[in-house]
């Protein structure tokens, strides 16, 4: 409860108008000044601690956005198209659409078949059966990003990307339209999503992936083995760089001892081939040089020193305050959803058709448990079309710490 809400709650409990006014004056003239002073000093202390012990997750925060393809330039230093992340030749669907509406309208079509009249550069096809599903390319990109984090020994945080579940694949599973033909026009038939479809929308994030060559390996002996140092020149020193390669095993990266803007990659093996470089851009790299169509979202956290310390130790899921701390830490979700309560219910279903955003991570098999930990959220603005997706993000992030229960989210 914020300060003003606390004051008003106490004032409303006084029925006598004179006493109510007296309490109002005391609270706002005396105590508010004291709390403002106290909060200011506390913030000064937090800033001082942060300057000495920064947030270790800060360089790995992922920002996402949706934008018009025609307005986006690949020359941007911060935003990159998610589909450009190297995915090993994932086959594209016949059509990809963006439905600018809330999940309740999209849900009935997931996994179902719709019909469309399709024109290509070589002909027309009437009543083509198309299967609807969430866009696979974006979920696979996040899965690969998780693999990069894991290979580099970096702790994983759930990616907050509500836009991802507005992108839908329309797949011609019957093979009616020959491979190689390009769709030039289409019209969905008897589908309730037509008026919400936006064309030429692409998903963006602050992750750049590319192939690069490392410097020639230099061998040096250690107490038990020979290690190899590979040098890599970086362009954006504020960014976080991670690497994966076929021959890289048990490696770590450090700043070069004498050369500026050079990373030394230390490995047990020599890497003679190109490696995959994953760069996570920081806001300093050009965040404001492009304005996406939709307000960006992120998994950036508002971290106090106490929060960082709490994250180091064991997470206690049965303490509601811990769940409240986790769910309330995210800057781009905090104003949309507030944790209103937690309960254990063995019979509740997966309300809201929750999607596990970390389905690719290894778990202890919480799906085998019949018990559900129900996280109930209050939404001040229920017209927000991203509410369900933001809830999935919070529930998936909480689930990373909990294996005894299957976490379920409900908007109350």
pLDDT of 310 higher than 90 = no
- Based on the domain organization, do 74 and 177 belong to the same domain? yes
The answer to whether 155 and 137 have CB atoms below 8 angstroms apart is: no
| The pairing of beta strand 197-198 with beta strand 95-99 | antiparallel
Would residue 304 count as lying in a domain?
A: no
Q: What is the mean pLDDT of residues 360-386?
A: 79
Stretch among 80-84, 100-104, 243-247 having the lowest mean pLDDT: 243-247
In a domain, 100, yes or no: yes
Q: Which is it for the CA torsion 190, 194, 196, 202, positive or negative? A: positive
- In tens, the pLDDT along 90-146 reads 778 899 999 999 999 999 999 999 999 999 999 899 999 999 999 999 999 999 999
Kindly state whether residues 273 and 367 are assigned to the same domain. Answer: no
* Boundary-marking domain end, from 234, 262, 280: 280
Q: d(Cα 285, Cα 238) in Å, to the nearest integer?
A: 7
3-state secondary structure of 27: helix
Model confidence at 370, pLDDT cuts 50, 70, 90, reads: low
Residue 348: give the domain boundaries.
316-411
- Give domain status of residue 80, yes or no: yes
Is 308 inside a domain boundary?
no
**Number of structural domains, the chain?**
4
- So what's the pLDDT on residue 215? 82
The answer to whether residues 195 and 78 belong to one domain is yes
Residue 276 lies in a domain: yes
Do 144 and 44 share a structural domain? no
User: Which pLDDT score is estimated for 314?
Assistant: 55
| β-pair type (207-212, 123-134) | unpaired
Domain match, 71 and 188 both: yes
Q: What is the pLDDT of residue 133?
A: 94
Tens-digit pLDDT profile for residues 195-231 = 999 989 999 999 999 999 888 888 888 878 888 899 9
Whether the CB-CB separation of 310 and 322 falls below 8 Å is answered with yes
Alpha-carbon span 326 to 400, nearest angstrom: 11
Higher pLDDT, 317 or 411: 411
Pairing state of beta strands 262-267 and 275-280? unpaired
CA distance between the termini of the chain: 18
Of 203, 186, 202, 204, nearest in space to 194 by CA: 186
Domain's final residue, options 229, 257, 280: 280
Q: Are residues 70 and 176 in the same domain?
A: yes
Do residues 32 and 168 share a domain? no
Q: Is 289 helix (H, G, I), strand (E, B) or coil?
A: helix
What is the pLDDT, as a whole number, of residue 308?
A: 59
**Where a domain ends, among 52, 70, 92?**
52
Confirm whether 307 is domain-assigned.
no
- Is the predicted pLDDT of residue 51 greater than 90, yes or no? no
Check whether residue 251 and residue 386 sit in a common domain.
no
pLDDT above 60 for 311: no
Residue 357 lies in a domain: yes
Domain presence at residue 291: no
Dist CA 300 CA 124 (whole Å): 47
Cβ atoms 184, 124 nearer than 8 A: no
Q: How many CA atoms lie within 13 A of 34 on its CB side?
A: 6
Q: Do 38 and 126 belong together in one domain?
A: no
Pick the more confident residue, 4 or 79.
79
pLDDT of residue 309: 59
* pTM of this structure: 0.83
Highest mean pLDDT among 200-204, 254-258, 284-288: 200-204
| Residue 134 host element (H or E) | strand 123-134
82 with 196, same domain: the answer is yes
205 has which bridge partners?
64, 80
Report the alpha-carbon distance of residue 29 to residue 24 in Å, rounded: 8
- Regarding whether 389 and 267 lie in a shared domain, the answer is no
251/179 same-domain check: no
């Amino acid at each position: 409860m914020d300060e003003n809400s606390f004051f008003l709650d106490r004032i409303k409990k006084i029925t006598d108008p004179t006493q109510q006014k007296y309490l109002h004056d005391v609270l706002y003239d005396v105590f508010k000044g004291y709390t403002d002073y106290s909060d200011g000093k506390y913030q000064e202390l937090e800033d001082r601690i942060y300057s000495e012990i920064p947030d270790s997750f800060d360089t790995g925060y992922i920002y996402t956005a949706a934008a018009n393809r025609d307005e986006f330039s690949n020359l941007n230093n911060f935003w990159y198209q998610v589909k450009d992340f190297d995915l090993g030749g994932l086959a594209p669907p016949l059509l990809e659409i963006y439905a600018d509406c809330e999940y309740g309208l999209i849900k009935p079509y997931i996994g179902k078949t719709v019909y469309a009249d399709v024109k290509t550069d070589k002909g027309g096809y009437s009543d083509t059966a198309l299967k609807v599903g969430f866009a696979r390319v974006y979920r696979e990109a996040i899965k690969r990003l998780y693999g990069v984090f894991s290979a580099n020994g970096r702790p994983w945080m759930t990616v907050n990307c509500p836009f991802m579940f507005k992108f839908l694949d329309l797949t011609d599973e019957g093979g009616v339209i020959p491979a190689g033909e390009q769709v030039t026009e289409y019209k969905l038939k008897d589908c309730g999503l037509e008026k919400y479809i936006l064309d030429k929308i692409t998903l963006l994030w602050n992750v750049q992936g590319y192939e690069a060559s490392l410097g020639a390996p230099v061998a040096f002996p250690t107490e038990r083995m020979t290690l190899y140092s590979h040098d890599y020149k970086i362009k954006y020193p504020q960014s976080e760089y991670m690497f994966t390669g076929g021959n890289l095993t048990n490696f770590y990266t450090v700043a070069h001892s004498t050369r500026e803007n050079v990373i030394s990659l230390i490995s047990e093996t020599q890497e003679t081939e190109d490696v995959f470089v994953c760069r996570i851009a920081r806001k300093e790299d050009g965040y404001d040089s492009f304005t996406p169509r939709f307000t960006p979202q992120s998994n950036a956290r508002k971290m106090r020193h106490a929060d960082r310390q709490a994250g180091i130790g064991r997470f206690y899921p049965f303490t509601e305050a811990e769940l409240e701390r986790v769910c309330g830490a995210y800057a781009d979700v905090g104003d949309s959803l507030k944790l209103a309560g937690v309960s254990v219910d063995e019979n509740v279903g997966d309300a809201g058709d929750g999607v596990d955003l970390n389905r690719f991570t290894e778990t202890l098999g919480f799906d085998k448990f019949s018990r559900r930990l129900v996280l109930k959220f209050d939404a001040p603005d229920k017209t927000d079309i991203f509410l369900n997706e933001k809830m999935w993000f919070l529930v998936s992030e909480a689930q990373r710490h909990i294996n005894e229960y299957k976490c379920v989210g409900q908007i109350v």
